[in-house]
Amino acid sequence: MTVIVWIVFVLIVIFQLQRVVFRRLGLRAVAYDRTFSTDKLFAGETLWLSETIANRKRLPIPWLRVETLMPAQLVFKNEEAETSINRGDQLQNHASLFSIPAYTEIVRRHEVLCPARGCYAVSSYTMSIGDMIGTEVTSVTRTQTSEIVVYPKVTAFTDLPLSARKYVYSVRSMLSPIREDHYHVSGVRPYREGDSFRMINWNATAKTDELLVHKRESMCDNDLHLLVNAELLDHSNNRRVTKEQFELALSYAASAAHYLIAGGGKAGLIFNGTVSGYADPVYRMPAKAGAAHLDAILEAMARFEPVTRLGMNYLLERLIEERGRGLNYLFITGFIDEEQDQLVRRLRLNGNSVELLLLYKEAA
């Protein structure tokens, strides 16, 4: 029995020694980096999550596990059954297991589907390592914040309800009654097919040797204010719209903004719900042009939550009190009650145009 007692003793001593070594040196010079291929994308698109782990020392690591608590809305393609993903309502635990020799860097790329709009932050990860036998010796939690902004899905412009589509189209490409119908001349522009010969600026044409015409101001700007209602429930008439319909409303709004800005117009945004990271009860973004502004609108929409912070009646009253004139509103709402209808009429009487996009009606 002495022989067996001795070999067991020897193995226990070696086991304890190597545990001490791995506990002290195992995580030294181990770098872990997690990056997303893009930080902004549209709902329904995929991105690549890259995990880079480097062991810059002579001691190899028999196994190393990295666990990350991620939002449940990020769906790992092809991995639900293959890897350790414990999915909850809000969060999911994603784990990766590596075996890293000395002075080796491993890069793993996971394809991630982002089906739902939102802002998703991944803030920390936990690394655990094992010794030669495989027992876990130590673990450490490190902080590394990365954020993904998933824009709402932009539907095709032709998928918008007909009335809204015609309205946005008219705002963007208002013909003579609205565009360049002012008696003030703001400058010159190149001749376009269909321009009247009376519009030609002969002096400028003679000087530049190019056919130029007068550029006139517009009576009405081709900017559009997207007014999105966060209310999902109409208490007075007991009507309700679902969160999916709210998402559809945002898709419509995104599509209208995209169509307008892509055509050189301006778009603004007004929302009466909760916006994560924004304190005021009403979120307002002035009408501007340009791709950067479109990104800002989409990013703001990514943070929208269907939780009302100011009733739509109060918001409409506020808009009326501001006495804005000549503004175009696309009012996207689940339903409209009598009081809101009155307020919309007053808004129109102030010299604005308001087009309704009713989700409840669309869903019925």
Partner 1 sequence: MNGTLAGGIIRFAGRLLFEWVLWVPAWLLLTIGHAQEDRLLSLTAVPVCWAIGCALTLLRPPWQMMATILFMLAIAAGAAAIDVHELPLGIWLAVVAWRGKYVNITAGQYGIGFAAACASVFVATGYDAAEKYRLAFIVVSVVWLAAWVIAWNRALVSQAGLGSSIATRAVRRESRKYAFLFVAIGLVIFGLTISYALDWMKLPRVEIGGSQIDSIEPPQAQEPMEELPLKVDEDYRPNPLWDILFWIIAVLSMFLLWRFVVWLWRDRKWSWRAIKDALRSLFLRDRREERLPYVEERRSLAKEKKQSRWSGLFQRRPRGADWRQLNHAQKVRRLYADAVAAGLSSGHPHAASLTPAEYMESLERWRAEQAEPKSGSQAAYWSWFAGIRLALLRMYEQARYSPHDIEEQQVTGLIERHPDRDKLR
134 lies in the site for partner 1, by CB under 8 A: yes
Which x/- pattern over 60-79 shows residues binding partner 1 (rule: CB under 8 A)?
A: x-xx-x----------x-xx
* CA–CA dist 355, 328 (Å, integer): 8
The alpha carbon of 314 is separated from its chain's Cα centroid by a whole number of angstroms, namely 27
- In the bound complex, what is the minimum distance in angstroms from residue 20's beta carbon to partner 1? 14
Amino acid at 162: L
15 lies in the site for partner 1, by CB under 8 A: yes
Residue (111 or 247) nearer to partner 1, CB? 111
Residue (123 or 242) nearer to partner 1, CB? 123
CA 172, 173, 178, 179 dihedral sign is: positive
52 lies in the site for partner 1, by CB under 8 A: yes
Q: Which window, 23-31, 161-169, 288-296, 344-352, contacts partner 1 (CB under 8 A)?
A: 23-31
* CA–CA dist 107, 21 (Å, integer): 26
104 lies in the site for partner 1, by CB under 8 A: yes
* CA–CA dist 33, 54 (Å, integer): 9
* CA–CA dist 321, 46 (Å, integer): 45
Which x/- pattern over 235-264 shows residues binding partner 1 (rule: CB under 8 A)?
A: ------------------------------
Retrieve residue 198's tokens. 């009376």
The alpha carbon of 248 is separated from its chain's Cα centroid by a whole number of angstroms, namely 14
Among 16, 20, 39, 107, binds partner 1 (CB under 8 A): 107
27 lies in the site for partner 1, by CB under 8 A: yes
CB 290 within 8 A of CB 257: no
Type and span of the H or E element at 71: strand 61-71
Residue (22 or 120) nearer to partner 1, CB? 22
Residue (83 or 186) nearer to partner 1, CB? 83
Type and span of the H or E element at 20: helix 2-25
Place of tokens 């530049």: 208
83 lies in the site for partner 1, by CB under 8 A: yes
Type and span of the H or E element at 123: strand 118-130
99 lies in the site for partner 1, by CB under 8 A: yes
CB 265 within 8 A of CB 223: yes
Residue (144 or 342) nearer to partner 1, CB? 144
59 lies in the site for partner 1, by CB under 8 A: no
**Site residues (vs partner 1, CB under 8 A):** 1-8, 10-11, 14-15, 18, 27-33, 52, 54-57, 60, 62-63, 65, 76, 78-79, 81-84, 95-99, 101, 103-111, 128, 130, 132-136, 142-144
